[in-house]
Amino acid sequence: MSDETLKKSITRSEGNKMIEIIGMHKWFGDLHVLDDIHLTVYKGERIVICGPSGSGKSTLIRCINRLEELQKGKIVVDGTELTDNLKNVEKIREEVGMVFQHFNLFPHLTIIQNLTLGPIWVRKVPKRDAEEMAMVYLKKVHIEDQARKYPGQLSGGQQQRVAIARSLCMKPKIMLFDEPTSALDPEMVKEVLDVMVNLAEEGMTMIVVSHEMGFAKSVAHRVMFMDFGRIVEENTPQEFFNSPQHERTKLFLSQILN
Amino acid sequence: MAKSLTTNNRSTAPIVRIGVWQWLKSNLFNSAFNSLVTILVCLFLYKIIPPFVEWAFIDSLWFSTADQCRAGHGACWSIIPANIRFIIFGFYPYELHWRPTVAMVILIGLLFYSKNRNHWNRSLGAVWIAGLFIMGVLMRGGFFGLTAVESDQWGGLPLTLMLSVFGMVAAYPLGILLALGRRSKMPAIKTICILYIELIRGVPLISLLFMSAVLFPLFLPTGLTVNKIIRAQAAIILFTAAYIAEVVRGGLQAIPRGQYEAAESLGLTYVQKMRLVVLPQALKIVIPPTVGILISAFKDTSLVVIIALYDILKTTRSVLGNPSWMGFSPEAYIFLALIYFVCCYAMSNYSRRLEGELHS
């Protein structure tokens, strides 16, 4: 896989915006966790966000499907503005897939039931069609033979791949990844990253909070560094890793790369 | 015949076998104090068990008159068969006893049918409503050529079963709603639920029963009355629901936030999230304390005695008030205890099986 084939060019035009965040602020009590965030993500674009813990990167992507509420500013996802209106929120959640650090599979349901829950109840897909589709996605993440097992019987890497497949079953337009590999044993990181790379090749719009710098280099269109609730620096991966501008970024990169 | 070396070389856990003597010595006589306790307990059992067996089985009378009983030394179990129909059915007209019998059989049949998890679907509700309707018709009569029997003649075991089964079946969902309400983000709903739970839990069931019997009718417009059994039933449901609510709330709190978030990020609505993801896990965790509450609710139905309903405890006591059978209360109460025990033990046994099935 060459960088060229993966990095299909994307059109940055007004009609191609998937996510637009304007002047977003959020506080947890006195703590200013998000401080004037501006971010536009275009269709097919892949963004990797890194930064020290507590810098607000998880909170940022959790605001996009309103697992967290913002207190000031505006988020527009695929033409729909996130407001208090529950219908809007549910509509956006259908379009935005989310993968969590701790997988969050439903332990009382089998793998296939985990995958079909959303399509059956939210998209109203008939059960048989939903199961067929689920098997397609399970094949894609290479665990079709585990379909009838329960999450607790799978390894961490397998569980995270199931979680990705579960999100994909909703046919989302955007995928958010909240540190998808940081709870995994080292030998399982690659199998999950491979699935994510495949997804990138298919042109999925992705925002990934991660410290996997290899993944960022080969897949991302843009890499961002966050600290104290602000986007300190953003650039193409090449520029970002080769010539970081800010002292804080340099320090952070030297710490995680060594 | 190549024996695998690897399995032969694996060390297995050592097998420890001890004889009866060794076991006695290491468990019952392993110190001076334990030896003393063992001897005292054996002595105590020796004093208690043989006389009891003699009283209950050897010298006992099973089918005799009260006078024959008074002449003998043993237990007078005859009080049960001689009065069984009054104990079971109370003041229900004698020649119509088949009707509550059929109603109880239906109720027990429904319980057995509902035991199987494969039957837990939408039609189960319909089956219950149909069963309830048939039971109502049988007990009450007045339709289909059945003689009407006023509800103040109902009593005994059918009344006890009805109050407890419908009490539990109605209190469980109500308790779940209250638990969800107490965790709601909407202040009005939350406040109402907290007030309800705390107020109900703050008073004894007896006072609620009194209120339902004495106070509640005062607030009704003149001419309108609500059946006393229904009022008692409502009091039991409201009381039990408050306790269930707190237990379920504990289960809800044990579900990690990630489960809620995963359900939300799939776009599930609140109701779907609770029904499909959160409650199945939460309710499973709280099976043991829930069954504890249901068992105590079952036994608490005997408190309806104080508002003059003839449940099975009251009918038994009425028999003891009959001069010819006076004085045989141990036998009658042992019989009563057995009935309660069988029901409660069945409940706790079932809950243990259910837990095992759901554990996979």
Does B266 contact A107 at a Cβ distance shorter than 8 Å? no
Torsion of CA B225, B229, B235, B241, to 10 degrees: -130
- C-alpha to C-alpha distance for A252 and B201, rounded to whole angstroms: 56
In the block, tokens 């650090």 appear at A101
Q: Return the percentage of chain B with pLDDT > 90, whole number.
A: 32
Q: State the DSSP H helix or E strand holding residue B339, giving kind and residue range, or none if neither.
A: helix B329-359
How far, in Å, CA of B89 to CA of B149, rounded? 13
What is the rounded CA–CA span in Å between residue A36 and residue A230? 7
Q: Provide mean pLDDT across the span B65-81.
A: 79
The model's pLDDT over B122-138, given as tens digits with 9 standing for 90+, comes to 888 888 888 888 888 88
- pLDDT value of residue A11: 78
Residues 6+ apart with CB under 8 A from B253: none
Q: So what's the pLDDT on residue A4? A: 47
Distance from CA of B248 to the nearest CA of A (A): 17
pLDDT band at B86 (very low <50, low <70, confident <90, very high): confident
Residues whose CB is less than 8 angstroms from the CB of residue B42 and which lie 6 or more positions away in sequence, other chains included: none
CB within 8 Å of chain A, chain B residues 262-301: 262-269, 272, 276-277, 280-281, 284
To the nearest whole number, what is the mean pLDDT of chain B?
86
Report d(CA B37, CA B31) in Å as an integer: 10
Tens of pLDDT, residue by residue over B152-176, are: 888 888 888 888 888 888 999 999 9
HSE of B20, CA atoms in CB hemisphere, 13 A: 0
Task: With a cut of 90, say whether residue B277 has pLDDT above it.
Answer: yes
Residue found by looking up tokens 């420890």 in the block: B16
pLDDT at residue B105 is higher than 80: yes
Length of chain A: 258
* pLDDT attached to residue A91: 87
Question: When comparing pLDDT for B140 and A214, which is higher?
Answer: A214
pLDDT in tens, A208-218: 999 899 999 98
Q: For A210, list phi and psi in degrees, rounded to 5.
A: -165, 155
Q: B-chain residues within 8 Å CB-CB of A65?
A: 264-265
Tell me, what DSSP letter sits at residue B311? Answer: B
Nearest chain B Cα to A92, which residue? B267
B255 at the A interface (CB within 8 A)?
Answer: no
- pLDDT over threshold 90, residue B6: no
pLDDT-derived band at B8 (thresholds 50, 70, 90) equals low
Quote the percentage of chain A above a pLDDT of 70.
97
Best A88, A104, A109, A175 residue to mutate vs chain B (most B CBs within 10 Å): A104
Q: Indicate the residue of A93, A107, A150 with minimum beta-carbon distance to B266.
A: A93
Q: What's the CATH fold of domain B170-309?
A: MetI-like fold (1.10.3720)
B279 to chain A: closest CA residue: A108
Q: Residue B272: its chain A contacts at CB < 8 A?
A: 121-122
| Chain centre distance of CA B171 | 13
Do the Cβ atoms of B99 and B139 come closer than 8 Å? yes
Burial degree of B3 (CB within 10 A; 0-12, 13-18, 19+): exposed
CA dihedral A116, A121, A126, A130 (to 10 degrees): -20
Residues 6+ apart with CB under 8 A from B185: none
Q: So what's the pLDDT on residue A2?
A: 43
Please provide the distance, in angstroms rounded to a whole number, between the alpha carbons at the two ends of chain B: 39
Render pLDDT for A121-178 as a digit per residue (tens, 0 to 9).
999 999 999 999 999 999 999 998 999 999 999 999 999 999 999 999 999 999 999 9
- Chain B touched by A107 (CB under 8 Å): yes
pLDDT of B1 strictly over 50: no
The closest of A142, A151, A179 to A48, measured between CA atoms, is: A179
Residues 341-360 of B with CB under 8 A from A: 360
Confidence band for B272, pLDDT divided at 50, 70 and 90: very high
What is the pLDDT at residue A8? 63
> What is the distance between the alpha carbons of residues B291 and A40, in angstroms, rounded to a whole number?
54
**Nearest residue, CB atoms, B264 vs list A67, A105, A150:** A67
How high is the ipTM of this complex? 0.91
| Per-residue pLDDT tens digits of chain A, which is 258 residues long | 444 446 667 778 888 889 999 999 999 988 999 999 999 999 999 999 999 988 999 999 999 989 998 888 999 998 888 887 888 888 899 899 999 999 999 999 999 999 999 999 999 999 999 999 999 999 999 998 999 999 999 999 999 999 999 999 999 999 999 999 998 998 899 999 999 999 998 889 999 999 899 999 989 999 999 999 999 999 999 999 999 999 999 999 998 876
Assess whether pLDDT exceeds 50 at residue B278: yes
* Domain boundaries, given as residue ranges, for chain B: 32-90+315-360, 93-148, 170-309
> Residue A170's pLDDT is what?
93
A48 vs A50: CA distance, rounded Å: 7
Q: Which of B117, B185, B266 to mutate to test the interface with A (most CBs of A within 10 A)?
A: B266
Sheet holding A31-42, edge to edge: A31-42, A17-28, A72-77, A80-81
Torsion, CA B277, CA B283, CA B284, CA B286, rounded to 10: 140
Q: Which residue has the higher pLDDT, B181 or B162?
A: B181
Q: Is B333 helix (H, G, I), strand (E, B) or coil?
A: helix
